[in-house]
A = this chain, B = another copy of it.
């Protein structure tokens, strides 16, 4: 098989960055690929994808490296940096171990943008990956240097959002 590991980025201010990565993970697992999902800045257990993956008989491993509360306004603390670096370390280990065909680095763009992870360290880790390993990086504000390295970049652009009409986040759809 003519396999070339793609570096994909889902960025932008719109919905669908993480769900598209999860959808691709499901698709990949359906085709027999082994998938690892590392979620940066997320530690909520009441999220649908976590509950669903736990019930599935699919080769998908999901790990979280964040607190339960979502960090807003760049109010990050030492613990957030520690958690994010643990995630990057696990990424490096997974790459070295060569156990996966697709690794999703969920919200890593935001972790870099919030200065939880040094851009250089992430770029080095990506550069050292096996050529056939697929990567998906998600999160808004993807750095230009990462976009430069990537093969496939999609911007999820918000055209219309229900919050603007006073509708609250809907369980099962938005988390």
Contact = CB atoms under 8 A, between A and B. Distances in A.
Instruction: Sort A-B residue pairs by CB-CB distance and give the 4 closest, nearest first.
Output: A30-B52, A19-B23, A27-B48, A30-B48
Contact of A159 (B2, B32, B147): B147
Interface residues of A, number: 64
Contacts of A165: 151
Interface string A54-85: 01111000000000000000000000000000
B170 A3 contact: yes
A170 B49 CA distance: 24
A145 interface: no
A171 B132 CA distance: 12
Interface stretch (A10-18, A88-96, A112-120, A121-129): A10-18
Contact of A173 (B15, B27, B47, B157): B27
B48 A28 contact: yes
A23 B52 CA distance: 10
A46 to B, nearest CB: 8
Given A15-B152, A147-B160, A167-B6, A30 B57 contact: no
A157 B158 CA distance: 11
